[in-house]
Amino acid sequence: MFETDATGEPVEVADLDAAGLLEVLEQRKLDARAAERGKLRIAAQWCVVHPATADTGIATWGGASLLDEDESLGGDGTPAVSAFAPEPLAATLGVATETGMKLIADALDLQHRLPRIWRLVETLAVEPYKARHVAQATHRLSREAAAYVDEQLAPRLPSCSWKAIETAVAHAIAKFHPELLEQREKQGRQSWHVTLRHPTPSEYAGTSWLDITGDTLDLTAFHDLVCDQAAALKALGDTDDLEVRKAKALGVIAAQQAQLDLTSLIDPDSEVRPAAPRTSKTRFYLHLSLADLATHGCSGSANLAAGTVEKLGAATLTQIKDWVGHSHVTIQPVLDLGRTDAVDGYEPPAWMRELVILRDGHCVFPWCHHDARTADLDHIDPYIPLDEGGPPGQTHPGNLAPLCRRHHRAKTSRRWRYRRRPDSTYQWHGPHGRSYLVTPHGTLELPSN
């Protein structure tokens, strides 16, 4: 079985060592990028040779149309394509027409709305599917909003995670289309429901399904309550797995609530009064412009200003005000992320753990985005107990990093090693001489030695 190497010479795969296999695989990666780039180039040129005219009509998402009010394939600022142009393109590719339309739309948006990202595609600096994802995420935004995303993402798109792309798009929506956030929140409320589903009688084994969609704050508080009850069950000796205990906790909560007479809320003559509601503690990390907060309510545009809730995304000030207005709020002091204090013990104090979590946000292994709040805190230079000759002050922010359990084990097994650089990035060295740089914006593969 033969493959070609970077020079185009045939090589026998069975004769390659691990490093050689990875080199050939890297060339196949570039070949695949070039192939997908070729499809986008052809789709773009297909649009050039099939412009929409008064005679041909316009290709739209709803079908071929001669009417201007239908939505054409490309986003705001792209040229219209003649009706029925997508069909032969899609047929030649052996895909559904809608898939061919998406290819055309992405090519149009990249060339006309995201020119910086398109240049990355042209030079094979980024995976075309990643560039297409940006095009699709910004498709319904204005040309100005798309240009903003293009400017923000292009310098770092090769190393960007999906989450970073979605964050940039969310910021563009908040900046250029805050009305979409308010509309989305209203539409989201219409989808709220609590649905109980049972299996068919022949399949029933004592298990059913409860599906809930509702207010983020309410569901987070309820989930916290369920987790508290699950922890209590464990303390009482329940040996079931956590998810099983959480399901059991629903029954405990239901039994407790069954003792409340909620009809007393509408019967003023009743002597029975409902028990005081349980106060739940829900922690949200809110990033909000003080200027927006100060002007909220002073004008129509201010009402639509947005903040960002950690892990959830953008939310209008109206929504944030509604959450805060119905909850007990505790303001935590701002944590100085520049602290470098060290301690002698293995376990970091609470402030240090919080600092590392907020500083890094996720597992710092290449391309991993596991939440730092549920990750292990790893000593980058392994901790040596003081009674075994270890130096004092080994536990400090500069020697700690969040690693998910899987990647913590990979590091502990010595298959991978890493260090934290002075610029706060992480340089990893893996098997077969491959190295990577994890930055706040994503992961970069470093040149081989």
99 and 220 share a domain?
no
Examine the domain organization and report whether 240 and 376 are in the same domain: no
Q: What is the pLDDT of residue 190?
A: 85
Structural domain contains residue 112: yes
CB 117 within 8 A of CB 157: yes
* Burial status of residue 391 (CB atoms within 10 A of its CB: 0-12, 13-18, 19 or more): exposed
Task: Write the pLDDT tens digit of every residue in 350-389.
Answer: 999 999 999 999 999 999 989 999 999 999 999 999 999 9
Q: What residues contact residue 404 under an 8 Å CB cut-off, 6+ apart?
A: 363, 365, 368, 370, 374, 375, 376
Residues 409 and 438 in one domain: yes
- Entry pTM: 0.71
Task: Give the H/E segment covering residue 377.
Answer: strand 376-379
Residue 219 lies in a domain: yes
For 114, the 3-state DSSP assignment is: coil
Q: Is residue 372 part of a domain?
A: yes
Q: Is residue 442 part of a domain?
A: yes
Specify whether 242 is located in the same domain as 300.
Answer: no
Q: Which run of H or of E encompasses 401?
A: strand 400-403
Spatial separation of the C-alpha atoms in residues 86 and 265, rounded to whole Å: 61
Give the pLDDT of residue 227. 92
Is there a domain that residue 298 lies in?
yes
Same domain flag for 237 and 384: no
> Domain range spanning residue 319?
286-325
Domain count, the chain: 4
Give the helix ranges, DSSP H, for 124-161.
Answer: 128-138, 143-153
Does residue 46 sit in the same domain as residue 122?
A: yes
Same domain, 42 and 163: yes
Token pair in block for residue 174: 């908040």
Same domain, 321 and 359: no
My answer on whether 247 and 320 are in the same domain is no
CB atoms under 10 Å from CB of 60, counted, come to 21
341 within a domain of the structure (yes/no): no
Q: Are residues 222 and 313 in the same domain?
A: no
- Phi/psi for 317 (5° steps) reads -65, -30
Position 27, amino acid: Q
> Could you tell me if 379 and 396 are in contact, meaning their C-beta atoms sit under 8 angstroms apart?
no
pLDDT at 338: 86
State whether 10 and 157 are in the same domain: yes
Residues 333 and 313: their CA atoms lie apart, in Å, by 22
Is the same domain home to 123 and 231?
Answer: no
Structural domain includes residue 275 = no
- For 91, which DSSP code? H
Judge contact between 109 and 78, C-beta under 8 A.
yes
Residue 69 lies in a domain: yes
Here the tokens at position 427 are: 């340089």
Residues of the chain with pLDDT below 50 are 65-69, 272-278, 301-303
